[in-house]
Structure 1
Amino acid sequence: MASSDLIFQSTDLAQRRTEFLDAARSGGARLRDKDGTSLVMLPERQLHLLQELRKWSSVHLRLERMLARPDFRPTVQNLGDLAWLRVFDCEDLKEFAAELNEALVAADSDNSTAPLDECLKAWRTTAQRLEDPLRRSVLLDKTSVPDLVEADRPE
């Protein structure tokens, strides 16, 4: 019998606690409560991963729906909890959505929130930098190459 097929009873917690904890450590232990409720115990990092994947998948879907509307304009009100993205235009938001999707797939595949955390940190950092008018002008400066001249090496 596979460990995922094994269902412990509440009375097993006293007699088979080591087996129950081993099953929980290796991915999940199922427990049937006296009232028939099925409970699962798993490592906290797995629960955290599942919660983050659920949250950001939902955010991704919502953003994709917003971006699909032809009249969409990024404002604090229509971005809601994504208001930190307000400094970006629609093209940037599409790029964010694509990168978020890749990060979600990688996080699920790697069984780690690291790819998702890295993606979000990079976009949040960029958004914070763009909030400052001086930094924004430097980052988005459209200086053309002819404005630059070659400098001679000092002697």
Structure 2
Amino acid sequence: MSAPEVNFSDLSNKPLAVVGQVERSATRSVRIRRRGKDVQDLVLVTEERAAQVTEVVTATTRMFLALMEHDDVARTLATEVVPAAFPWVRFLPKEDVQAFVVELVETLAAAESLRNPAPVANLVAAWRHTAEVHADPALAEILQRDGEDLGPVPAPSEPE
């Protein structure tokens, strides 16, 4: 179920109509479309729905972490079922899948304590990129070659 969409100008020109859409929406949210390069859309959501989402994520994370801390079988099972949640792990070596699960659990615990999902999203993206390298044999071979360190990479120059 996706949220209804409105243009950013609707939010400033017809704010009551947009708020009405939020309140009538099944998701209790509206996507605010913004124009421009490198400009992200916004989501307007009721405070109650935001609190519900936070509560569900927190409860799910805490239950998962408790299972992982409580039971060796749960830890083994998590490693075995992680491909269902993250299909790209099939391209990782087995020891990397285990490292991903351990790092994911640790990051989930730390991020949940801050109530900030960004570290988890960053971790998943980094491991997905690692899987992309393993999925491409030519790229993996290039990156595994011995070579010399050429030092720090300079910052990119400003576009003209």
Q: What range describes the TM-score normalised by the shorter chain of this pair?
A: 0.3 to 0.5
**TM-score if structure 1 supplies the norm length?**
0.47
Q: TM-score, normalised by structure 2?
A: 0.46
